[in-house]
Structure 1
Amino acid sequence: MTKFLLAVHVIAAIVAIGPVTVAASMFPPAARRALAAPGDAGALSTARLLHRVCRVYAVVGVVVPVFGFATASNMGVLGDTWLIVSIVLTALAAGVLALLVLPRQEALVDGLVDGLAGTRDGAGALDRAATVQLAMFTGIFNLLWATVTVLMIIRPGSTTGA
């Protein structure tokens, strides 16, 4: 049963978290392109699609820690330090995504849709600053997930010999 839970956990992480990290990283430059060309429907569509991918796969990503807890419970490692650190980092990553990345993406998409972005004096500078800040938060999210991944692969006490 442990092998099954671990397989589902790893597959869910790849299928759910992978697209969020990629789409979230692609969103700031796509938003900058859309902001630079307010009438470009293709640029707007790209930004909207990337935001939708982030939003949908963030919800799907909830299964990753669910199967992670089930796996850890079967393995008897719920109290191990590496796992507790991974849980904390996962919670931080989820918080960064839910509280800092997705709302900023939503605001940028809404601004693009409303046609307000880049149409007033100085708005372009504010929008660029918003995309730079979003890119920073996205980088933090990605770094947290990369750290969790490393902890999952090279965990203290592992029997894999790594």
Structure 2
Amino acid sequence: MPSFDVVSEVDMQELRNAVGQTRREVENRYDFKGSAANVEQSEAELTLFGDSEFQVDQVMDILTQKMAKRGIDVSCLESGKLEEGGGKARRTVTIRQGIDQDMGKKIIRLVKDSKLKVQASIQGEKVRITGKKRDDLQDVIALLRKAELDLPLQYDNFRD
């Protein structure tokens, strides 16, 4: 029976590359010379540094451009509050991965409401869609792409 998984993942190697490119551009830009502007990555968390809120926002813009060029969906970024003190500013940005229970239930509800002859089930941080016809599964993919979910989705493990 054909099936596929709906997942939300970020390629960590591409993210590391985007952070490295951002760091190099910040080091070379004239308007950042002599400032504390920088990006640091620890697993699925990025920390943006700067002398002011404006600089942190500029670093964020550079980072999102580099991520978009590398094929990473920037809607996976969850920006934290800006922390200012001592003439420095810092913002923590979290990389969202995986589909949580609430989003999984929302996806299942969308699929069931579409009246397509498929079954959907939550399996950890994935949603597995199973059906008898390949066309029904492709219709589900089209439905999920059209849906306004604020999480980047990928369709993985398509099997006949």
TM-score, normalized by the shorter chain, greater than 0.5? no
Higher helix content, 1 or 2? 1
Structure ranking higher in strand proportion: 2
